[in-house]
Structure 1
Amino acid sequence: MNFTKEEQAISKFLPQSEIIVLTYKEGITEYYKRLDLKVPLLRSLDRIHHIFEDQNTIQNIQIGLFKLEVLDYPINVFQEALLNAMTHRDYENQSSIIIKFYPEEIHIENPGAFPEGVNSKNIISHQSTPRNKLIAETFQKLKYVQRSGQGVDIIFKDMLALGKSAPDYTLFSNSVQLILRSAMEDIEFLKFITKEEEKHSTFSVQEICILKYIKSNKKISLSEAAEVAQVSNQSVQVILNDLIQKKNIIQREHRNSYMFTHRVYAEFENQIEYIKDKEFDEQKGEVMILEYLSKNEFITRREVERLCGFSSTTSKRVLKALRDKEEIILVGESKSSKYTLKN
């Protein structure tokens, strides 16, 4: 029924299929344009896309000798978000889909909760079943979507890869709201991803999420990577190994800690930060070792690895630094060697 050309039939039998589009101006809290769509879904898509395209401006970013044209919102991101709203909304709920165009944000408010099995902690990786399967299949047959599923992975990947903030999903009592923000928060990250994708195949959404986290937080643990990528520890270990071995983007710093390689820090023109991070960790490790030895007579290199989370190489370097400072001395040789405070 929703694809019929009879608008009167839609108003009569499916009034809840209405889509309301509101447009706002800078600094004004009230909308200045309102469009109420009680028309077939395909016609609604076309009308909404015209409004979207009128507001979707381009920013030119210089990357080496080339200029990259970056839209406020990638067209496929907005289309996926809009199609998700139509295929996953609860048509038993009498509320309308509401789309709000702000100068720097787009809000899509969708009646109903998340699809079954989906929550904010698995929304990227969970392959959901559309609440309205017939609508989803029709969109797929008409080539509006490339595959079944949520398409949320596309939304996250493309927004983050362009240096923009992550899509913001919020679950309310009877609706889900998605906020997309146009501001480019991290041009360095955009340039880095663009250059790397020229060398390698494109990154997965999980890889993008992990790399973005490291860019913002300098390091990531195994458990943090699993949480950010929304996959199991076992699965994320495979992803991390690929970023280490095949793409040479990250390195294992401690037993379960990962950071960018020196090459990547150089890409970000941030070699000083790279060195400072390592030095800070090693200085902190020295303090931990001395504190341990104030309560225990000896410490072994293996115990240093466990205590500080250092690799074998880093542990040796930190212990040597303490010996050079004459804070500790080596007792014994080879496998039986251990360290104690110098009197």
Structure 2
Amino acid sequence: MEISEIIQRGETKYVEFKSWVKANKKELMNILTNEAVGFANTDGGIILVGVEDDGEITGCDDYDEQNIIESIYDKTIPKLFTDIDVIRFAGKDILKIVIEKSPEIVATSKGVVYKRLGKNTKPFYPSEYISNNIKGFKGDYSAKVIEPTTKDDIDFTEVERLKLKIQSRDKDSTLYQSDNITFLKDLRLIDVIGDKIQLTVAGLLFIGTKEAIAKYMPQAEIIILTYNDGHTEYNKRLELKMPLIQSVDRIQQFFEDRNGIKNIQMGLFKLEVQDYPINVFQEALLNAISHRDYESNSSIFVKFYPNEIIIENPGSFPTGVNSSNIITHPSSPRNKLIAETLQRLKYVQRSGQGVDIIFKDMLSLGKSAPEYNLYSEAVSLTLRSSLEDIEFLKFITKEEENNGEFSVSEICILKYVKSNKTITLGKAAEVAQITSQSAANVLNKLCQKRNILQREAKNKYMFTHRVYENLDDNIEYTKDKDFDEIQAKTMIIDYLNKNGSITRSDVERLCGFSSTSSKRILQRLRDAEIIDLEGKARASYYRLK
């Protein structure tokens, strides 16, 4: 994210502004240490020195980066390492101090502990230390070991459930053949040292007893709410405080019981379109489970409305991810071990996939795009059931039957052209969330291989004549018919000047026309005595007169 955008958004859980010019430098070192401790004990973040609370850029002068790094290091226990970047912005220097999340509790050298709460840094008291009982790998909370847990906290009925899942879903796996302890150790759901068995956070969530989950991670629950049409108060509430696979299977069944189907007539057959594709809902739910902040006291909420589903998830997007790059940004699940375990259990096809599936399948079914909303401490995803573009659904279904599946980038671009008639190279990159070079490649592929798009002008594209016919878009068909045919005549003559001859199928590929339109254009060129027909039947071709 650019520094201008960070400043424009203001202070958040991950961003703090501090003045350099208005501060006492000795006192500022103490303040920076406190802020760094707060970030280290939460989810990491950055301090921008030289920016006022209201976002005004006042800059820094006569600073010593090394001195600041050493000051924070000397004033923290355990010692906290930070990085400082000097950014020149608006003609002034801004110091960007980067603090990583610490795998253990950090205090100031005076013994004071802080934690980030929203956009403020607050004292952090021992009774709140979740991490006191947890040790493990930096960066993956779900892989950390919960020290007080023992073998008695394992629900071995749930262990057998996991084994059966792997046996039935992964024919190549031999993992389920191991004894229970080896099985759990291989999945990294437990840590074994001598005779001592302890559960990781992921282990507690997947195979912990309900009593152990309630004791060590009472916040790890999923709440289902249902609403009637026109009502703002829910009419049913279901709280799931149980191992994850039990919760997922129960929610999936609840979803399938409510998921409706619409029949869309396509020629001689009917296409069944679900209100919500099953794989889309599953990916959305599993993403919430993999990305939620398990240190937050909030729960995952799944809200079922008559025409939409909203999934609310504690914890904001990972650093660098926002609504404008969520499709293509490399996945970085907050809880990597949970994500990997779901993959081993074949609940997801591959780690890191999900958002692209959600966008592609919703748009290709003629539904509105998934809507992500970011809040200070949560993310929500809205899926809508209504069919807003049946013609687009029919068009994509027919094209994929003939030419194979479109990519998510292609679907996003085609959807935009359907709604806006034309698209520029820059807009294609924006809607597909890819680079301009990648967008150019996708556009060229759609032009050359799928006979879908054609250039209207330099770096500007539109549907071909054939597509408008398939879409039954009479207004656009009539509007562009004359333009297309004039352009086609020029293209055919240019082709003949270069190649000598052309067939009707060549014209279809060259101009993006149907067989009927191609015949009509060629006949008009013959009537105008511009070309001659030679050969017969399938061996026929055309030359300039």
Choose which of 229, 239, 247 in structure 1 pairs with 2:442. 239
1:32 to 223, 232, 235: 235
Inter-partner Cα distance in structure 1 for 2:475 and 2:293:
52
Which of the numbers 203, 207, 229 marks the counterpart of 2:406? 203
- Report if aligned partners of 2:465, 2:481 keep a CA contact under 8 Å in 1: no
Given residue 65 of structure 1, which amino acid in structure 2 is its aligned partner? L
CA contact (8 A) 2:273 2:365 kept: yes
User: For residue 407 of structure 2, what is the amino acid of its counterpart?
Assistant: S
Among 171, 176, 182, the alignment partner of 2:385 is: 182
Q: Given the alignment, which residue of 244, 248, 260 partners 1:41?
A: 244
Question: Helix, strand or coil: the match of 1:16?
Answer: coil
Q: Give the match's secondary structure for 2:206.
A: coil
Please state if 1:95 is matched with 2:317. no
| Corresponding residue number in structure 2 for 1:124 | 327
Q: Which contiguous aligned blocks of 4+ residues in structure 1 show a shift greater than 4 angstroms?
A: 277-280
Distance apart, 1:273 and its partner CA: 1.4
In structure 1, the residue corresponding to 2:232 is in which secondary structure?
coil
Any unmatched runs of 5+ in structure 2? Answer: 1-203, 484-545
**Which residue does 2:207 correspond to in 1?**
4
Distance 2:475 2:273 in 1: 30
What SS class does the counterpart of residue 170 from structure 1 fall into?
strand
Corresponding letter in the other structure for 1:193: I
Q: Is the CA contact 1:262–1:271 (under 8 Å) kept in the aligned structure 2?
A: no
Cα offset for 1:211? 0.2
Does 2:417 match 1:214? Answer: yes
Query: For the residues of structure 2 that align with 1:279 and 1:196, how far apart are their CA atoms?
Result: 25
Structure 1 residue runs of 5 or longer lacking an equivalent are 281-343
TM-score, normalised with respect to structure 1: 0.80
1:257 aligns with 2:456: no
Hey, what does 2:344 align to over in structure 1? 141
Matched letter for residue 216 of structure 2: F
Matches of 2:208 and 2:220 in 1, distance apart? 14
Deviates more, 1:75-84 or 1:62-71: 62-71
Alpha-carbon distance between aligned partners in 2 of 1:80 and 1:134, rounded to the nearest angstrom: 17
Q: How far 1:271 sits from its partner (Å)? A: 4.5
Alignment deviations for residues 125-167 of structure 1 (CA, whole Å, 9 cap, x no partner): 1121111011001000000000011410000000000000000
Q: How many angstroms does 1:277 deviate by?
A: 5.4
Residue 273 of structure 2 corresponds to residue 70 of structure 1:
yes
TM-score by length of 2: 0.51
302, 315, 318: which one aligns with 1:112: 315
| Secondary structure class of the residue paired with 1:3 | helix
Residue 118 of structure 1 and its aligned partner are, at CA, apart by 1.3
Find the aligned partners of 1:164 and 1:84 in 2 and give their Cα distance.
Answer: 21
Q: C-alpha separation between the residues in 2 aligned to 1:141 and 1:4?
A: 15
CA contact under 8 A between 1:111 and 1:175: conserved in structure 2?
yes
Residue number among 156, 164, 175 corresponding to 2:359 in the alignment: 156
Cα distance between partner residues in 2 of 1:129 and 1:219: 35
Deviation at residue 274 of structure 1 after TM alignment:
3.9
Bigger CA radius of gyration = 2
